[in-house]
A and B are shown apart, each in its own frame.
Chain A
């Protein structure tokens, strides 16, 4: 266990040193947040029909989403891609570590360190100037924290599946492009899931992506009462475990047919 904790710790510390990237990322995310806010404000002004969420809730949703953006598993880790392309992955296999767990730890660090760097100032900025509300209650806050942890594990399991897929595709470009669309839409990142038609939601409720954004964010603002957390958290965990099992099985097959690029 200590070895894996050390991997997370070391990568975490390494990622924290990229301050300029954090500042640039923060700027971009605030900018996109403002655009999404304007988009929804215009939409609410132009409609009189009853909407599934109030504008104030949507705005909180947007800023929370922007703050947690770095946790979404939609782009394959740059370093991971470079490693597969150049063949440095050989060194990863020469370590006395279980490769799946090793990569899982790597990915957890990549999902947490940059997000932490950006989320804290983002909460401050959006809370002071752009209408981000605090959690609806202590219980809602707790439910959000727990399901955010669930979202982190789920996101990492998805990301690791993408990592493993590179043993076949080498570039990972195509899958990355597909995942951006799937994750952004199906998780409720672009448009909150309550706005989707009922038939679509019955499907989206089953898919894993919901657990990444929709579940923690709506728990935060009390749009889903904290009392309903159990099946949602179980949904996250079940998918996480399922995807881990799938990732492990694929990795076991992938390493058997592994080709180290570049001799």
Chain B
């Protein structure tokens, strides 16, 4: 049975608007104009237990709104959603007891208190039994390596440290489902890796179902077997990363390092996308010409030092996709 079933979810927001400047402000006092924004416009999907799903889309596409509806915070205008047999916004309290949530741009820890005090409060709020709490807390501290700043007030933590603590805070009650809304936003490379590693282990070892929204495609490539792309409130694509690539473009890249820097390269069926000294990057469609024959033709004509074939970076794929859909 799927862990999450979402059908035709819709949610609109009303946004008050006014013209800029003093005159606009004065006019706004007399007459308010509102614009209706459709944050979710018929979103449907289902997720099996133990899946790790990436949820991506440009800013304002509806990612966070989806996560907030799924975590019982927002009530949708229409559509249905069932998570572990519960409707999140109808049975909010019993629902949130079984989920963990991290909003990367906000903290759930108490700003002025040592991290450990926030944890202790969460233990009582989620009614985690004493021994279970200690075991789960110590395991999280070990995995995320933050025993050094357990007694530091949250306001004095770096963003990376804080995020690790926030992740732990969301998992103290061992929820089977975890929502991560941009958990790597603003983090340095090391912290990002730590967060990714942790999420991966959580999913593999404990079987926690994870929904992850992000703008960082490395997160997606490192973690997610399945990617959902949302734009203007609709799901544009849902499948594996490979599916997504083939859906958007069949293109592949061949990078060639020539011996002679001045030589021009021109091959039929492939286009030069970048030239940087002796390095040439070609793009080709593997349906029209196989990588092997392309390589054969190039090495026959030019002395080559090195070459390799790769997929276009996922960033480009996504950018192309957004472009295509005019997002």
Decide if A3 touches B124 in the complex (CB within 8 Å): yes
B30 near A: Cβ within 8 Å? no
In the bound complex, how far is the Cα of B104 from the Cα of A87, in angstroms? Answer: 12
Across the interface, do A255 and B124 meet the contact criterion of CB distance under 8 Å? Answer: no
CB distance from B90 to the nearest CB of A (A): 11
State whether the Cβ of B96 lies closer than 8 Å to any Cβ in chain A: yes
Q: Which residue of A lies closest to B101 (CB)?
A: A94
The residues of B that contact A124 with a CB separation of less than 8 Å are none
Task: Tell me if B108 is interfacial: C-beta within 8 Å of chain A.
Answer: yes
Contact A88–B127 (Cβ < 8 Å): no
Closest approach, in angstroms, between the C-beta of A262 and any C-beta of chain B?
7
Partner of B93, one of A13, A88, A96, A257: A96
- Flag if A94 contacts B125 (CB, 8 Å): no
Indicate if the CB atoms of A10 and B96 lie closer than 8 Å: no
Residues of B within 8 A of A263 (CB): 59-60, 64, 105
Q: Mark B55-74, 1 if CB is under 8 A from A, else 0.
A: 00001100010001001111
A70 vs chain B, min Cβ distance (A): 19
Binary per-residue interface labels of chain A (13-34) against chain B in the complex, 1 for a CB within 8 Å, 0 otherwise: 1100100000000000000000
Residue of A nearest to B169 (CB): A91
A214-263 CB contacts (< 8 Å) to partner B: 255-260, 262-263
Interface size on B, residues (CB 8 A): 32
Contact (Cβ within 8 A) A258 B113: no
Q: Tell me, in angstroms, the Cα distance from A83 to B101 when the chains sit together.
A: 17
Given contacts A97-B93, A255-B75, A256-B75, contact A90 B125 (CB under 8 A): no
From B72, B92, B93, B126, residue with most partner A Cβ within 10 Å: B92
Bound Cα distance from A14 to B94, whole angstroms: 28
Decide yes or no: A258 and B93 within 8 Å by CB, A10-B117, A10-B121, A90-B68 being known contacts: no
If A91-B108, A260-B68 touch, does A6 touch B125 (CB 8 Å cutoff)?
yes
Query: What are the residues of chain A within 8 A of B96 when measuring CB–CB?
Result: 93-96
Which of chain B's residues has its CB closest to A95's CB? B125
Closest to A18 in B: B112
Asked if B284 CB lies within 8 Å of chain A CBs, one says: no
Query: Number of contacting residues on A, CB 8 A?
Result: 28
Query: With a CB–CB cut-off of 8 A, which chain A residues contact B72?
Result: 93-94
Interface positions, chain B 124-153, Cβ under 8 Å from A, are: 124-127
- Contact of B124 (CB < 8 Å), options: A2, A88, A258, A260: A2
Contact: A14 with B110, CB < 8 Å? yes
- C-alpha gap A7/B118 in the complex (Å): 10
B55 CB, min distance to chain A CBs, angstroms: 14
Q: A residues within 8 A CB of B121?
A: 6-7, 10
Instruction: Give every chain B residue within 8 A of A13 (Cβ-Cβ).
Output: 117
Most buried by B among A2, A7, A90: A90
Question: Is B103 in contact with A91, judged by CB distance below 8 angstroms?
Answer: yes
A98: contacting residue among B74, B93, B110, B112, CB under 8 A: B93
**Interface pair A14/B103, CB less than 8 Å apart:** no
- In the complex, residue of chain B having the shortest beta-carbon distance to the beta carbon of A255: B75
Which residues 80-129 in B have Cβ within 8 Å of A in the complex?
92-94, 96-97, 99, 101, 103, 105-108, 110, 112-113, 117, 120-121, 124-127
Residue A86 is within 8 A (CB to CB) of chain B in the complex: yes
State how many angstroms separate the Cβ of B78 from the closest Cβ of chain A: 13
B13 within 8 A of A: yes
The answer to whether B125 and A7 touch across the interface, beta carbons within 8 angstroms, is yes
CB < 8 Å: which of A7, A10, A97, A260 contacts B73? A260
Known: A87-B106, A258-B74, A260-B68. A97 touches B113 (CB 8 A): no
Residues of B within 8 A of A5 (CB): 124
Output the nearest chain A residue to B123 by Cβ-Cβ distance: A6
Tell me the complex Cα distance, A87–B101, Å. Answer: 14
Contacts of B125 in A (CB 8 A): 3, 6-7, 95-97
In angstroms, how far is the closest chain A Cβ from the Cβ of B203?
20
Residues A14 and B75 in contact in the complex (CB < 8 Å), given A91-B106, A93-B92, A97-B93: no
A26 to chain B, nearest CB (A): 21
Given contacts A93-B92, A94-B101, 15 further A-B contacts (CB under 8 A): A3-B124, A3-B127, A5-B124, A6-B121, A6-B125, A7-B121, A88-B108, A93-B72, A93-B73, A94-B73, A95-B96, A95-B125, A96-B96, A96-B126, A259-B13
Binding site for A on B (CB under 8 A): 13, 59-60, 64, 68, 71-75, 92-94, 96-97, 99, 101, 103, 105-108, 110, 112-113, 117, 120-121, 124-127
Q: Which residues of A contact B (CB under 8 A)?
A: 2-3, 5-7, 10, 13-14, 17, 86-88, 90-91, 93-98, 255-260, 262-263
Q: What are some 19 contacts across the A-B interface (CB < 8 A)?
A: A6-B124, A10-B113, A14-B112, A14-B113, A17-B112, A88-B107, A90-B68, A90-B103, A90-B106, A91-B101, A94-B71, A94-B73, A95-B125, A96-B97, A96-B126, A257-B75, A260-B64, A263-B60, A263-B64
